[in-house]
Amino acid sequence: MNINEIAKLMVAKGKGILAADESTGTMTKRLDSVNIESNEENRLAFRHTLFTSKNFQNYISGVILYDETIRQKKNGKSIPEILREQKVLPGIKVDKGAKKLVGSDETVTEGLDGLRERLNEYYKLGARFAKWRGVYKISNEFPSNNSVVANAHALARYAALVQEAGMAPIVEPEVLMDGKHDIQKCYDVTSKVLEECMNQLRIAGIDFSGMVLKPNMILNGSESGIKNKKEQVAELTLKCVQNHLPSEIPGVAFLSGGQSEFEATENLNEINKQNKTSFAFTYSYGRALQQSALKTWAKNLKDTEAVQKVFDERSRMNSLAAKGEWKADLENAA
């Protein structure tokens, strides 16, 4: 399977990408929040429960794994094997996290050193796509031009190495929703970030038809006190994407970025209702797909059926949203 086919499968109609790539530290925080001990066995148990749910392959096209998870086995089978049996693409997070940008209070994502060798190893382990996240914060002075260029350059170098390794890159420039800014500021900053990302990807010679973009939606800052209106979120998000994305990119898998499960679904649905572009708009959610399932699991670690039912239902809601067919009263019925 070539990278163009992989990228198309990742954004197949009505399917999205499960971001199960939380680092051990992040996963520990999630498990702590429901009073479950974070050890390798429990982290695998929860993830494996999701990966083997009854309707997993109907709603999930790919799973972003963490280094620990891609190497794990359950019942004698590796996690990538288990996913492939479900006709789901295994992927891998390859960045080493956002580190302090020298001379600034901002960050740049690191992990390029030795990446070519790591990608070759991950390919042998079964990965067929990869993910790298750049992080940008909004304030009166941020993001600086230095931050915008440095992160875009790193994303482009990463993407080139991924395509060289025969995998499709997810390019994730995340403008954080933290802050007091309004939705127009988010639009302006995200536009600047996407423009520079596309510029750097072109310089790096990226095949746009063999990648997926994972951006933020255009939202009011979480501390602004302004309520997001789905129609405005969709309108500005579509405008931003249309203005800056090459038409060859097969699709966009939005991150949830701190939105609630309901908000992430509602806004994605509205984007698809308004969409008149050739792009596929779907989801690459972590917490917004897993949170209810995690709370259910914490009540009884052995009741996998209950957990899977909750996860499948959340996935179904987002699958409908990815087709513009979701309605709020479906949530109440569930």
Is 64 in contact with 19 (CB distance < 8 Å)?
yes
Backbone angles phi, psi at 228, to 5 degrees: -70, 135
Residue 66 DSSP label:
P
DSSP per position, 217-271: -----TTS-PPP-HHHHHHHHHHHHHHHS-TT--EEEE--TT--HHHHHHHHHHH
* Residue 106: DSSP 8-state: S
Residue in the structure block whose two tokens are 């993407």: 159
Is the bond preceding 143 in cis, omega lying within 30 degrees of 0? yes
Distance between CA atoms of residues 244 and 171, nearest Å = 14
Catalytic-role residue among 8, 15, 22, 172: 172
Active-site residue flag, 214:
yes
Both tokens of 22, joined, read 């939380």
All residues at 6 or more sequence positions from 320 whose CB lies less than 8 Å from its CB, including other chains: 14, 269, 326, 330
* Catalytic residue from among 8, 93, 185, 214: 214
Dist. CA 178–CA 34, nearest whole Å: 24
Beta carbons of 62 and 43 less than 8 angstroms apart? no
The C-alpha atoms of residue 43 and residue 221 are separated, in whole angstroms, by: 32
Catalytic sites, residue numbers: 172, 214
